[in-house]
């Protein structure tokens, strides 16, 4: 039962930039059958150094640029998370520039170059500075890039975007070539200094493969198909560069909307085959798990069995129960909510339900049984990704609905023991009057409500008019007076049925001996039991004898 690491773990390859990395799987146990939900947290180590997307950055800065002007250099990437991720930047000592660290809404840190004093092209036509990115590991790792700054002549008006931030929503089934958004910037200068060229800033290759910006119009179009299940949002850094080399930046946030493009996946966890014909109702034949990669209503599934078979689903293990939702007003990692189970009142191991850490969806761990547990409560904890973490707890109370999965069980009359010569019987005197109580069929049903309401009816009797079975009481009484023509031994078959949909039933066999006393009944019991249709056979023999006598009489006359 011990779990081991079978190969080297690479947290960055498994979870990317997600702050909380975990691997979830299920362990299946047999005899008895049970499913355990296992979640392994993968902790980060500082095994990645910060890395700039380019080794060299070229900047064109006019000599009339005023002190305090800022230039976006771009962001370094660090595959590690938490304190091991990118923490800051350092710039080679010089007399013109300093570097400041800025943090975007998604908690990423980028460097801004700040001009501390005016430039003088006559004294310094170009500058080469080393920019260093540092992480927070112990010891820290670093990455460098070279800044190549060319000092140009006066172009005193930089481009200005109409918006600092653009937000747009795009369906994941949008075809390549679809327009995402049209950005625009203006420049107060004239001539070539006012000519604006649009382009993307420093971004990952994955994002650059998805989107394309028209250099002249600023229209951003889709290059490759989107997949909501792969990436739910993109952040684009767009720059507008005028003819004099001044650059302005804006951000475009693209939200990918989910469409129902994934069919449910059915996973057969366990199958018990063959199944014996005397297996009781409620026997687990198979465990089926269903999942859908879509989100929201598109990811909710409903299971049903097709065809005519004696099998049914109460709830499937892995079936969705409900979804809890918590909101956090913070941004970035501080507002990213994950969900955990804190405990259950069912007292079972494992808990009856599991929770998906990202979506808050609760799934059944195994099929519920109303007869074993009618209700239970679980505590769900919502926790953010901040340092220190903040959390809140909610209680989910689940009521299990009854299903007609138990047939009635007959307590009396009991079935004859194997090898017994004389089955249980009841003695009814031939002098019994109408309404005489012969016996009472007693049965119980483990279900509840209408599923446990029982009704009784007489299924088989050699003399149907002789006995009457109470519909709700189960009492067997005489419907008329006993006559000498009635057979001494009577075999009654009663049907006990519940009111479920569909209804389940059981039968009970009652042996009745018509005799004034037990001593008179014993000789009847020692004889071979008469067949059910002996009166009919007797009538047949009487008719045959009468026909033979008639034929003999006619023959004598002839």
The rounded distance, in Å, linking the Cα atoms of 402 and 525 is 45
Contacts by 395-401, CB closer than 8 A, 24 or more apart: 396/322, 396/324, 396/362, 398/321, 398/352, 398/353, 399/374, 399/375, 400/368, 400/369, 400/370, 400/373, 400/374, 400/375, 400/376, 401/370
Which run of H or of E encompasses 521? helix 518-526
The rounded distance, in Å, linking the Cα atoms of 492 and 474 is 13
Backbone angles phi, psi at 399, to 5 degrees: -105, 125
Domains and CATH numbers, the chain: 160-257 (2.60.40.60), 314-401 (2.60.40.60), 409-523 (2.60.40.60)
pLDDT the model gives residue 163: 92
Answer whether 249's CB lies under 8 Å from 214's CB.
no
What is the DSSP track for 333-360? GGG--EEEEEEESS--SS-SEEE-TTT-
Answer whether 79's CB lies under 8 Å from 48's CB.
yes
Residue 79: DSSP 8-state: S
**Sequence-distant (≥ 6) Cβ neighbours of residue 148 within 8 angstroms:** 56, 57, 58, 59, 126, 127, 128
pTM: 0.41
Place of tokens 């799987």: 25
Answer whether 158's CB lies under 8 Å from 247's CB.
yes
Backbone angles phi, psi at 122, to 5 degrees: -70, -30
Count other Cβ atoms within 10 Å, centred on residue 90. Answer: 15
In this structure, the dihedral spanned by the alpha carbons of residues 262, 11, 17 and 263, taken in order and rounded to 10 degrees, is 0
| CB neighbour class for 550 (10 Å; exposed up to 12, middle 13-18, buried from 19) | exposed
pLDDT the model gives residue 532: 45
Q: Which parts of the chain sit beneath pLDDT 70?
A: 153, 269-270, 282, 296, 315-318, 346-350, 416-422, 518-537
The rounded distance, in Å, linking the Cα atoms of 552 and 558 is 10
Backbone angles phi, psi at 401, to 5 degrees: -90, 145
The rounded distance, in Å, linking the Cα atoms of 493 and 441 is 11
Two structure tokens written together for 404 = 């007609």
The rounded distance, in Å, linking the Cα atoms of 493 and 469 is 10
Task: For residue 275, give the nearest of 266, 285, 262, 286 by alpha carbon.
Answer: 285
Residue 225 three-state SS: coil
The rounded distance, in Å, linking the Cα atoms of 512 and 454 is 23
pLDDT the model gives residue 526: 57
pLDDT the model gives residue 357: 83
What is the DSSP track for 310-331? S---SS-TT-EEEE------S-
pLDDT the model gives residue 269: 66
Backbone angles phi, psi at 382, to 5 degrees: -105, 125
Two structure tokens written together for 258 = 């989910």
Two structure tokens written together for 411 = 């307590």
Two structure tokens written together for 44 = 């980060």
In this structure, the dihedral spanned by the alpha carbons of residues 346, 350, 355 and 361, taken in order and rounded to 10 degrees, is -70
pLDDT digits (tens, 9 = 90+) for 132-151: 999 988 889 999 999 999 98
Answer whether 399's CB lies under 8 Å from 376's CB.
no
């Amino acid at each position: 039962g011990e779990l081991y690491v079978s190969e080297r773990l690479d947290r960055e390859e498994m979870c990317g930039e997600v702050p909380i990395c975990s691997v979830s799987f299920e362990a299946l146990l047999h005899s008895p059958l049970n499913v355990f939900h296992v979640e392994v947290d993968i902790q980060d180590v500082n095994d990645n150094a910060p890395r700039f997307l380019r080794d060299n950055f070229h900047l064109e800065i006019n000599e009339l640029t005023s002190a305090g002007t800022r230039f976006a250099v771009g962001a370094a990437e660090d595959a590690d998370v938490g304190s091991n991720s990118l923490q800051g930047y350092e710039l080679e000592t010089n007399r013109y520039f300093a570097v400041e660290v800025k943090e975007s809404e998604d908690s990423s840190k980028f460097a801004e170059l700040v001009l501390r004093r005016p430039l003088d092209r006559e004294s310094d036509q170009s500058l080469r500075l080393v920019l260093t990115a540092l992480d927070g590991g112990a010891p820290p790792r670093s990455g460098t890039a070279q800044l190549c700054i060319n000092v140009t002549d006066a172009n005193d008006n930089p481009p200005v975007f109409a918006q600092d931030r653009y937000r747009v929503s795009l369906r994941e089934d949008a075809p390549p070539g679809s327009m995402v958004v049209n950005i625009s910037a203006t420049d107060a200068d004239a001539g070539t200094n006012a000519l604006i060229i649009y382009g993307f800033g420093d971004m990952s290759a994955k994002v650059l493969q998805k989107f394309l910006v028209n250099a002249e119009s600023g229209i951003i179009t889709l290059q490759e198909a989107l997949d909501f299940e792969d990436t739910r949002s993109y952040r684009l850094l767009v720059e507008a560069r005028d003819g004099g080399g001044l650059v302005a930046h804006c951000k475009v946030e693209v939200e990918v909307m989910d469409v129902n493009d994934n069919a449910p996946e059915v996973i057969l966890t366990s199958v018990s085959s063959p199944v014996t014909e005397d297996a009781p109702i409620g026997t687990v034949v198979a465990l089926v798990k269903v999942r859908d990669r879509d989100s929201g209503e598109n990811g909710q599934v409903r299971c049903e069995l097709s065809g005519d078979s004696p099998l049914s689903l109460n709830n499937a293990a892995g079936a969705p129960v409900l979804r809890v939702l918590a909101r956090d007003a913070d941004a970035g990692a501080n507002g990213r909510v994950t969900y955990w189970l804190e405990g259950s009142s069912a007292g079972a191991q494992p808990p009856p339900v599991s929770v998906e850490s990202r979506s808050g969806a609760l799934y059944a761990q195994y099929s519920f049984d109303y007869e074993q547990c009618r209700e239970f409560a679980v505590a769900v904890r919502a926790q953010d990704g901040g340092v220190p973490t903040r959390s809140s707890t909610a209680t989910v109370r689940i009521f299990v609905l009854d299903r007609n999965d138990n047939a009635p069980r007959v307590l009396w009359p009991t079935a004859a023991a194997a090898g017994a010569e004389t089955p249980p019987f009841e003695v009814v005197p031939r002098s019994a009057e109408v309404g005489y109580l012969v016996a009472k069929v007693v049965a119980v049903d483990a279900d509840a409500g209408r599923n446990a309401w029982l009704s009784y009816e007489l299924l088989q009797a050699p003399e149907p008019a002789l006995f009457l079975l109470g519909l709700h009481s189960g009492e067997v009484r005489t419907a008329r007076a006993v006559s000498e023509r009635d057979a001494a031994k009577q075999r009654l078959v009663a049907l006990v049925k519940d009111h479920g949909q569909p209804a389940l039933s059981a039968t009970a066999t009652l042996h009745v001996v018509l005799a004034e006393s037990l001593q008179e009944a014993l000789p009847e019991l020692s004889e071979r039991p008469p067949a059910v249709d002996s009166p009919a056979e007797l009538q047949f023999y009487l008719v045959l004898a009468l026909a033979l006598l008639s034929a003999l009489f006619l023959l004598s006359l002839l």
